[in-house]
Structure 1
Amino acid sequence: MIRISEVDPCDEATLRAFWEVEQEAQRHDRAQPVLRSWTQLTSSLGTPNPYHRRDLWVARDGDRVVGTAEVGSPLQENAQIGFLEVNVLPDVRRRGIGTLLHDTAVAHGHDDGRRSICGEVYVPAGDTSSAAREFAAGLGFEVVHEEDHLLLDLPVPAGSIERLRAKADGSAYDVVTWQGRCPDEHLAAFCEMRTRMENDVPTGDIDLDPVVVDEERVRTGEARLALSYLGITAAARRRDDGVLGGYTQVYLPHGEPHALQDDTLVMPEHRGHRLGTLLKCATLEIIQREHADRVAIHTDTALDNHAMQATNRDFGYRPVERLLEMQRRDA
């Protein structure tokens, strides 16, 4: 008989079993999974977060943990939505375990006022379906947004970086970089750009409200991030007035061989100079100079973000998976 129980983050044995099932299921299903490490999971759960909560469940068949569910719940904005992930070991699928986990996690979300449930499904590049997509569709979820999961093999030849930099019109800008904490002198402008990114990033029809990024949110995020990642940021500063016109961020997970390309934004009044390319060149050079053990950079880019898709192609990114955001609105 299958039993579903909530995970106490202080119960290391159960939490470890949760993580191991997640790892095995994702490695079985995905072409290029980017998985959280054990340290990333425990650090995240063990550090208070005023902006986000995670609730975890496991499914047991006897004493064996065979499935997991997780609901991520925004706490400041977007209290209407919960982000669901379900994993089941390959050898016990099609026994209703995933549905039991879904039902338990969604009931918890409903009790917390989460009437929109959203989850991520990956399919191989060039395909349109997978067992995970069919499972979600059978539960009433619909695709509301699509992104390409792209991969750039490292190292990139230095000549290629110089060629890309030459294509950008950066004569009116300096590139400033930092690792970890944003310098105080740039914090206000960085908050403004982060807020613009939160509102501009393509999200399709996901049931999300705008988020305002203030200094407290940035500093809280930096402190939590530093437990598991090194963050590298490059920003474009206009020479004649010192105004920051764009930024990009890359995260390097501690102890892992890859890097994660996150935000890239150019503010509207600074567009038309290919500053995004200039900024990505700067972070790429830092990675290759100071973190030469990294073998690849992963990023996700919306299908309709044509400018960033073109920029990523210029750098040599190639599609390895398609990310489907699937959502269901419950009454």
Structure 2
Amino acid sequence: MTTATADIRPLTIPSSLNAPEAADFLEMVRVRNIVYDEISGNRDEELEPAVLLPHYQPSPFEQRLIWGVWSGDELVGRAGLDLPNDGDATVAYAQIELRRHAWSRGIGSTALGILEAAAAANGRRIIQSWIEHPTADGQQVTPPTGFGRIPLDHAARFALRHGYALEQVERKSILDISATSVELVGELHEQASAAAAGYDIVSWHPPTPPEFVTDYAWMKSRMSVDAPSAGMEMAEESWDAARIVEHDTHWIDGGRDVLIVAARDRGSGRLVAFTELASSPGHPVTHQEDTLVLREHRGHRLGMLIKTAALLLWRDLAPHTQRILTYNAEENRPMLAVNEEIGFRPVAYIGAWKKTLTL
């Protein structure tokens, strides 16, 4: 769609970064990184094109649509819509990222209209989005959970103006590795080990070993419904061996350093908790991806057990890491308490926004 100020059109996804049609994708990633730098004031969220490309390849588990936003000859942002195929498939996940100089020109509203129309055309009645809101003074918005708050900033006003409701606040936390005592992490791990006497630690790098695939798939499926989600609509994801293979392949093809650490129940031999660490080789920032303790195994300090085990292993595997980023719902006090005890500190907050569409 072309407006007086922007041209918004589907972005070509190349088969490889060396393909002739890769130029727009490469520029999209460059602009995406600038947008995150403008939001956070640092480069912690930057990712390489090789990391992102696998996630845009065709998948039987979700459809990922993306549009480039051009102002004249300049790519000023992107708009994306994820359409998962899990459950009754009533939810779409939207994302609009614009360079700051493209704000307040009606471009975001036009892009959102395109995303909502595409969601409706695919039979999705709920559209949801997660937006980072740096801390700021002034008027705040609080979700129905009563946990956390975000400033009534440009992004929040945009969401509210277009009929979106703030359902949840997530905390973005960072661990400064240089200021984190190995001795402290070791002590916390020993304490957790004593509390989790009936559990062992196992770890691996992708691809997932065959003996762990079934349990890992089950835990990934529970991640979609057992993690606190407040008023957000979260369909239970269906994970099997094929989906684990795709998940692992994204990491491998993206060239990422990845570690999965899990707790195994000695009685049953099953994996009952896991956490994931991922970074690009040489990159100073590591992302803590999914972390989950199955409901029936909570109360044994397994969250602390797996997180400290992962940190102790990661120091040797990725010595270039300076910071670790993680995200948790503000009402997830057990996991936040673990993070705080280790030394994570809040740096920003993520608003989880939802709108019900009229189909």
TM-score for both structures, normalised by structure 1: 0.92
Are 1:67 and 1:98, in contact at CA under 8 Å, matched by a contact in 2? Answer: no
Shift of 1:241: 4.6
Shift of 1:287: 0.9
- Which residue in the other structure is 1:5 paired with? 9
Shift of 1:115: 2.2
Relative distance call for 1:196 and 1:44 in structure 2 (3 A) is: closer
User: Could you tell me how far apart the structure 2 residues matched to 1:304 and 1:211 are?
Assistant: 22
Are 1:236 and 1:275, in contact at CA under 8 Å, matched by a contact in 2? Answer: yes
The one-letter code matched in structure 2 to 1:186 is F
Are 1:31 and 1:320, in contact at CA under 8 Å, matched by a contact in 2? Answer: no
Relative distance call for 1:321 and 1:15 in structure 2 (3 A) is: same
**Residue deviations 1:208-240 (CA, integer Å, cap 9, x gap):** 222232222112211122222232111222335
Give the SS at the match of 1:246. strand
Are 1:187 and 1:215, in contact at CA under 8 Å, matched by a contact in 2? Answer: yes
- Which residue in the other structure is 1:97 paired with? 107
- Which residue in the other structure is 1:18 paired with? 28
Are 1:78 and 1:208, in contact at CA under 8 Å, matched by a contact in 2? Answer: no
- Which residue in the other structure is 2:188 paired with? 164
Shift of 1:307: 0.5
Relative distance call for 1:131 and 1:78 in structure 2 (3 A) is: farther
Give the ranges of 4+ consecutive aligned residues of structure 1 lying more than 6 Å apart after TM superposition.
Answer: none
Shift of 1:257: 1.8
- Which residue in the other structure is 2:83 paired with? 73
1:177 matched to 2:203: yes
Are 2:261 and 2:306, in contact at CA under 8 Å, matched by a contact in 1? Answer: yes
User: Could you tell me how far apart the structure 1 residues matched to 2:304 and 2:111 are?
Assistant: 43
Are 2:283 and 2:320, in contact at CA under 8 Å, matched by a contact in 1? Answer: no
- Which residue in the other structure is 2:271 paired with? 244
1:36 matched to 2:40: no
Are 1:246 and 1:264, in contact at CA under 8 Å, matched by a contact in 2? Answer: yes
1:209 matched to 2:264: no
Shift of 1:255: 4.6
Give the SS at the match of 1:226. helix
Shift of 1:166: 2.8
- Which residue in the other structure is 1:143 paired with? 166
Shift of 1:316: 0.3
**Runs of 5+ in structure 1 lacking a partner?**
none
Are 1:69 and 1:105, in contact at CA under 8 Å, matched by a contact in 2? Answer: yes
The one-letter code matched in structure 1 to 2:233 is D
User: Could you tell me how far apart the structure 2 residues matched to 1:271 and 1:104 are?
Assistant: 43
**Residue deviations 1:228-273 (CA, integer Å, cap 9, x gap):** 2232111222335533332222222345221111222223343322
**Residue deviations 1:286-307 (CA, integer Å, cap 9, x gap):** 1101211011111101111110
Aligned pairs for 1:115-126 (under 5 A) are 115-125=125-135
Are 1:195 and 1:213, in contact at CA under 8 Å, matched by a contact in 2? Answer: yes
Shift of 1:277: 0.8
Match of 2:313 among 269, 283, 286: 286
Relative distance call for 1:31 and 1:200 in structure 2 (3 A) is: farther
Relative distance call for 1:78 and 1:299 in structure 2 (3 A) is: farther
What is the Cα-based RMSD across aligned positions, in Å? 2.0
The one-letter code matched in structure 2 to 1:62 is G
Give the SS at the match of 1:149. strand
- Which residue in the other structure is 1:324 paired with? 351
User: Could you tell me how far apart the structure 2 residues matched to 1:234 and 1:90 are?
Assistant: 39
Relative distance call for 1:93 and 1:271 in structure 2 (3 A) is: closer
User: Could you tell me how far apart the structure 1 residues matched to 2:66 and 2:217 are?
Assistant: 31
- Which residue in the other structure is 1:253 paired with? 280
Are 1:180 and 1:230, in contact at CA under 8 Å, matched by a contact in 2? Answer: no
Shift of 1:88: 2.0
The one-letter code matched in structure 2 to 1:172 is G
- Which residue in the other structure is 2:304 paired with? 277
Report sequence identity in percent.
Answer: 25
The count of corresponding residues between Structure 1 and Structure 2 is: 330
User: Could you tell me how far apart the structure 1 residues matched to 2:275 and 2:297 are?
Assistant: 14
